[in-house]
Structure 1
Amino acid sequence: MKLLRAAMLATALALPMGMGAAVAQTPAGMLVVAQNIDDIVAIDPAQAYEFTSGELVTNVYDRLVQYDAEDTTVLAAGLASEWEADDEAKTITFTMRDGATFHSGNPVRAEDVVYSFQRVIELNLTPAFILAQLGWTPENITEMVTADGNVVTVRYDGDFSSAFVLNVLASRPASIVDMEVVQANEVDGDWGNAWLNGNSAGSGPFSLVAYSPAELIRLAANPDYFKGGPAIDAVVIRHVAEAATQQLLLETGDIDLARNLTPDQIASMSSDAVKVETFPQAAVHFLSFNQKTEVLQPEAVWEASRYLVDYEGMTETFLKGQMEIHQAFWPEGFPGALTDTPFSYDPERAEQILNDAGIETPITVTLDVINSTPFTDMAQSLQATFAEAGVNFDILPGTAAQVITKYRERSHQAMLLYWGPDFMDPHSNAKAFAYNSDNSDDAFAATTTWRNSWAVPQEMNEMTMAALAEADQDARNAMYLDLQRQVQENSPIVIMFQASYQVGMAENVNGYVNGATSDFVYYRLVTKD
């Protein structure tokens, strides 16, 4: 089997990647991907923080608990077969899965978990903050995470529930590495960091065969994976920066997947051998009103605004393939996401809402927007539709840095922007859209609520923190659904869209999973008919 895979990988390296009139064919047991991979800075899961490196880590490593390819909305057992949470004692006890092995053949042990978490905290590289929020430090980590036989006990310190902790432990830096292999490759006390940035030591569905920065990633299927070996034998990801080249390679059959096509290219493809699949992404796009601006303070203005967005008009034209209608702060594709879209473009209804509330029109305010597509196009659409009800926007385009600086200073009036979660727990966005316990100018908070000077009602603040502390996952999700409805119905933040991502692929490719973030990209279920 190893010889067969090696031969297939060698064949992929020789695939024609240039112009050609004849339709080529990739090897039957191999998925060949064209993708811009020059964003990668590191592939060590203790350091990896880029989009492409996240995809690599997800396919090569496992976590105690994880969101899997079968259903990216369900937190499933990973290297832990079961766990028991004690919210009062702030501990979670994990029982390790029997029979799980690393790619080296070494068994996955409780000691590997302790070592993996310790090295993240000790190295203290970019993603370490995700684990550190559990109260872990270099001084206490060996007391906060301990092993006894096949049992790992995780302790945490903070006013949050075990449900929140489980989502933290399902994040990228919580990936488990093979302690024996990594320790054998440590240099000058670097915890194996230099070696892991060119190699892997995981237990995931694929092992890393080769990595050449901005050139190539080669993965081989792990037939001994605890959930069953991948349906495909190998994955080759070629660095192809130009979208036009990716399109040509896909249409001539030289690749199976094109990951960076533009909407115009997607629209222009007509080959029967090619199909396009669309996947929701985590970023939500919104229009918000600074509550320091008096004319934007009435709740009737907030309500009317929800009927002055031409949601369908934008997503069916210049946003087609880039965004989907989404009107809640937690993205579709994650547990606890509200997918109701109760608002549609209705300028007559908006005008009536303003009239009934005694709002004098016209209202004229500035609208800050990033000076690039599609943001300027969105701003122009909003300018036209809001004018139908007497709300006039003076568009102020600026660089992303300029726009975000004004946002942080709370010096804008209206703002068109987007937001993405730091990790996959609803609190990451609930705190941003439904919590603001101190609205004073000197109480800086990196949230949309504070930046729009919105003094969130105390009941909503309390509910946000109660949801964070709720131990029962079903009850917790219900609380987040309620919070999303409250923000959706009555806040100065009008959530409009969720970003989408389109992937071009050969007609015979099935089972590719591209979840809402790069951590949810899976090749394990891919087949080529």
Structure 2
Amino acid sequence: MNKCSAFKAVASALVGIASLTASTAIASAGTPKDTLVVAAHIGDIRTLDPAESFEISSSDLINNVYDKLVGFDPHDLAGGIVPGLAESWEFSEDGRTITFKIRDGVTFSSGNPVTAFDAEYSLRRAVYLNKTPSFILRQFGFNEENAGERIVAVDGRTLKITTDRKYAGTFVLNCLTATVGAVVDSELVKQNEVDGDWGNNWLKTNSAGSGAYSLRNWRANESYSLKANEEYWRVAPEISNVFVQHTPESATQRLLLAQGDVDVARNLTPADIEAIEENADLSVSTDLRGRLMYLGLNQNIEPLNNPKVVEAIKYLVDYSKITESVLRGQFTPHQAFLPKTYLGAIDDSPYSFDIEKAKALLSEAGYEDGFETEILVRNAQDRMQVAQVLQNTLAQAGIKAEVEVSASQQELAKYRSRGHEIYLGVWGPDYPDPNTNAGTFALNPDNSDDADFKTLAWRNAWEVPASISKKVLAAAEENDPEARTELYQEAQRDFQETAPFAIMFQQTEKTGIRAEVKGLVTGSAVSYVYYWTVSK
């Protein structure tokens, strides 16, 4: 989409919203007080069904359209789990069964009451459909054969779920805050089922939630709009309409924001952020996200499987230069596999840019003259720039690295088949619990090529030491927060010493906002954007 078409699309959308809200004509500079207009890159949306959706942009939408049993307080995201549709819960003595008491008096956007039977239907539905995010529930032993017995509504206000074994209570609850844990209006979805599809085809483009908003429309690669649920059980949203326009170009987002045609710009480059900071009518919100940029070294490839070589490469990352001159505020140095703000996260940074130390390690490994290798990277501007800096610093120690740039599908296919040498990528947590990253960076139960369980450790052919794996597995079961924290911290420090990964940076998301917009919460590292907290 070029700049002209982006302006026309937003203007057209505003006119449409104005007619829906009986507003007067809208000038090009300014949006209605009851309407939030957002420019963002939303081309990743493939489906709006919470049992299938696994993209960031659709998760933003779903977070406002659906409620879950439990969630987070957007005003205190670091405060941990809070009640959602479940006003309370209890764990059985053996730690396997959780009994939820469903909040009374809550209704879906359709007007249907929210009951425990809707929650039962929603969780069973996610398991039975077995779409990509279903693993978040299936990891607790739920499957097609037992979901009917282990996910049960005792009555309209009581839901019981029973896992296959004892897990940390916070682990299970954190997973229920994920998109796949959204509770759908079972009566409405059943009315739209076709050939036993659990309403999946209908929910791809419709909504059936009890959230602060409901879907007005979605046009793939163009836009979506939401209308407020005035009877929302938490609070009646001040913003009646939300319109999100697909605007992939950062410069176009900035111009629309500066002219007042949009209220929020979500995907701005460092240069555009700097321009916004000079405008008194605009502000920049900074939010620490959970995404990590890292290097993965394939342990099937010599000499990358030499521990001294692995350590040398970690000393050849110019952490400061990359964050200051390339990423420029969009990532911050971070060297542990748990993002900051997660339970058990550590701030340890054992590696710094040190060419002489790296050369000494390469000499000890028998590669004093260096070697040739290849860096696989996606064709994203920031990643390609980081790869170029790495190429230069590796060369200073004699390592000649060719940068292979590929489109995302080709890049992921090669990485997932262990066809890379050095991989430069970004990993985002699948759910807000430390197990999400610990289980993929530090577990690899079967290192064979045809393994069923293919973690990031597997992709890099790393046979994880038992000392690390045992701590990760024990942490998934530990209910004492202090003991669980200690296990994750020990596992990360062992990982930093031995793993063929160089965790480098954690994402810092910067959002451009009009001065009149107040209360926008983009979700930090554990959640997604909240629109019902916004006022103008």
Per the normalisation by structure 1, the TM-score is: 0.86
Question: 2: CA distance between counterparts of 1:55 and 1:364?
Answer: 45
Question: 2: CA distance between counterparts of 1:498 and 1:360?
Answer: 31
The corresponding residue for 2:171 is 164
User: What SS class does the counterpart of residue 77 from structure 2 fall into?
Assistant: coil
* Aligned residue type for 1:499: Q
Alignment of 1:43-442 (within 5 A): 43-73=48-78, 74-86=80-92, 88=94, 90-149=96-155, 150-157=157-164, 160-187=167-194, 189-269=196-276, 270-293=278-301, 295-351=303-359, 361-370=368-377, 372=379, 373-388=381-396, 390-400=397-407, 403-410=411-418, 412-441=420-449
Question: 2: CA distance between counterparts of 1:35 and 1:82?
Answer: 36
Structure 1 residue 9: deviation in Å?
Answer: 4.8
Structure 1 residue 219: deviation in Å?
Answer: 2.6
Gap change, CA 1:78 and 1:484, over 3 Å in 2: same
Question: 2: CA distance between counterparts of 1:428 and 1:130?
Answer: 9
User: What SS class does the counterpart of residue 426 from structure 2 fall into?
Assistant: strand
* Aligned residue type for 1:65: V
Question: 2: CA distance between counterparts of 1:245 and 1:64?
Answer: 39
* Aligned residue type for 1:502: K
The corresponding residue for 1:10 is 21
> Aligned Cα RMSD in Å?
3.2
Question: 2: CA distance between counterparts of 1:211 and 1:407?
Answer: 32
Gap change, CA 1:113 and 1:352, over 3 Å in 2: same
Gap change, CA 1:104 and 1:292, over 3 Å in 2: closer
User: What SS class does the counterpart of residue 485 from structure 1 fall into?
Assistant: helix
1:482 partnered with 2:490 = yes
Q: Is the 8 A contact 1:58 1:521 kept in 2?
A: yes
User: What SS class does the counterpart of residue 98 from structure 2 fall into?
Assistant: strand
Q: Is the 8 A contact 1:376 1:397 kept in 2?
A: no
Instruction: Provide, for residues 108-147 of structure 1, a one-character-per-residue CA deviation record: whole Å limited to 9, x for no partner.
Output: 2111111222333344444334333333334432211112
The corresponding residue for 1:21 is none
Structure 1 residue 495: deviation in Å?
Answer: 0.7
The corresponding residue for 1:446 is 454
Q: Is the 8 A contact 2:378 2:411 kept in 1?
A: no
More deviation, 134-143/309-318: 134-143
Question: 2: CA distance between counterparts of 1:331 and 1:295?
Answer: 29
Instruction: Provide, for residues 19-45 of structure 1, a one-character-per-residue CA deviation record: whole Å limited to 9, x for no partner.
Output: xxxxx2222232221234343332232
Gap change, CA 1:251 and 1:358, over 3 Å in 2: closer
Structure 1 residue 311: deviation in Å?
Answer: 1.0
Question: 2: CA distance between counterparts of 1:113 and 1:517?
Answer: 26
User: What SS class does the counterpart of residue 325 from structure 2 fall into?
Assistant: coil
More deviation, 440-449/311-320: 440-449
The corresponding residue for 2:510 is 502
Q: Structure 2: state its 5+ residue gaps.
A: 1-16
Q: Is the 8 A contact 1:379 1:395 kept in 2?
A: no
Gap change, CA 1:112 and 1:272, over 3 Å in 2: same
Question: 2: CA distance between counterparts of 1:425 and 1:113?
Answer: 21
The corresponding residue for 1:456 is 464
Question: 2: CA distance between counterparts of 1:510 and 1:338?
Answer: 32
Q: Is the 8 A contact 1:163 1:470 kept in 2?
A: no
Instruction: Provide, for residues 278-304 of structure 1, a one-character-per-residue CA deviation record: whole Å limited to 9, x for no partner.
Output: 333333222233334554455444444
* Aligned residue type for 2:339: P
Structure 1 residue 468: deviation in Å?
Answer: 1.7
Question: 2: CA distance between counterparts of 1:402 and 1:43?
Answer: 25
Q: Is the 8 A contact 1:307 1:347 kept in 2?
A: yes
Structure 1 residue 496: deviation in Å?
Answer: 0.5
Structure 1 residue 154: deviation in Å?
Answer: 0.4
Structure 1 residue 263: deviation in Å?
Answer: 3.4
User: What SS class does the counterpart of residue 424 from structure 1 fall into?
Assistant: coil
Gap change, CA 1:325 and 1:8, over 3 Å in 2: farther
The corresponding residue for 1:28 is 33
User: What SS class does the counterpart of residue 460 from structure 1 fall into?
Assistant: helix
Gap change, CA 1:376 and 1:385, over 3 Å in 2: same
Question: 1: CA distance between counterparts of 2:268 and 2:166?
Answer: 44
More deviation, 287-296/109-118: 287-296
Gap change, CA 1:370 and 1:351, over 3 Å in 2: closer
The percentage of aligned residue pairs carrying the same residue is 42
Question: 1: CA distance between counterparts of 2:343 and 2:25?
Answer: 43
Question: 2: CA distance between counterparts of 1:70 and 1:526?
Answer: 11
Question: 2: CA distance between counterparts of 1:239 and 1:379?
Answer: 28
Q: Is the 8 A contact 1:329 1:429 kept in 2?
A: yes
Gap change, CA 1:142 and 1:288, over 3 Å in 2: closer
The corresponding residue for 1:20 is none
Instruction: Provide, for residues 425-463 of structure 1, a one-character-per-residue CA deviation record: whole Å limited to 9, x for no partner.
Output: 322221222223444555475233233333322111111
Gap change, CA 1:252 and 1:170, over 3 Å in 2: same
Q: Is the 8 A contact 2:387 2:403 kept in 1?
A: no
User: What SS class does the counterpart of residue 327 from structure 2 fall into?
Assistant: coil
Question: 2: CA distance between counterparts of 1:253 and 1:63?
Answer: 34
Gap change, CA 1:78 and 1:13, over 3 Å in 2: farther
Q: Is the 8 A contact 1:82 1:95 kept in 2?
A: yes
Question: 2: CA distance between counterparts of 1:405 and 1:176?
Answer: 33
The corresponding residue for 2:12 is none
* Aligned residue type for 2:161: V
Gap change, CA 1:198 and 1:381, over 3 Å in 2: closer
User: What SS class does the counterpart of residue 361 from structure 1 fall into?
Assistant: coil
More deviation, 191-200/58-67: 191-200
Structure 1 residue 212: deviation in Å?
Answer: 4.4
* Aligned residue type for 1:127: P
Per the normalisation by structure 2, the TM-score is: 0.85
More deviation, 319-328/217-226: 217-226
The corresponding residue for 1:3 is none
Structure 1 residue 165: deviation in Å?
Answer: 2.3
Structure 1 residue 257: deviation in Å?
Answer: 0.6
Gap change, CA 1:26 and 1:518, over 3 Å in 2: farther
Q: Aligned pair count?
A: 516
Question: 1: CA distance between counterparts of 2:66 and 2:84?
Answer: 10
Question: 1: CA distance between counterparts of 2:410 and 2:62?
Answer: 34
* Aligned residue type for 1:254: D
Gap change, CA 1:419 and 1:197, over 3 Å in 2: closer
Q: Is the 8 A contact 1:102 1:108 kept in 2?
A: yes
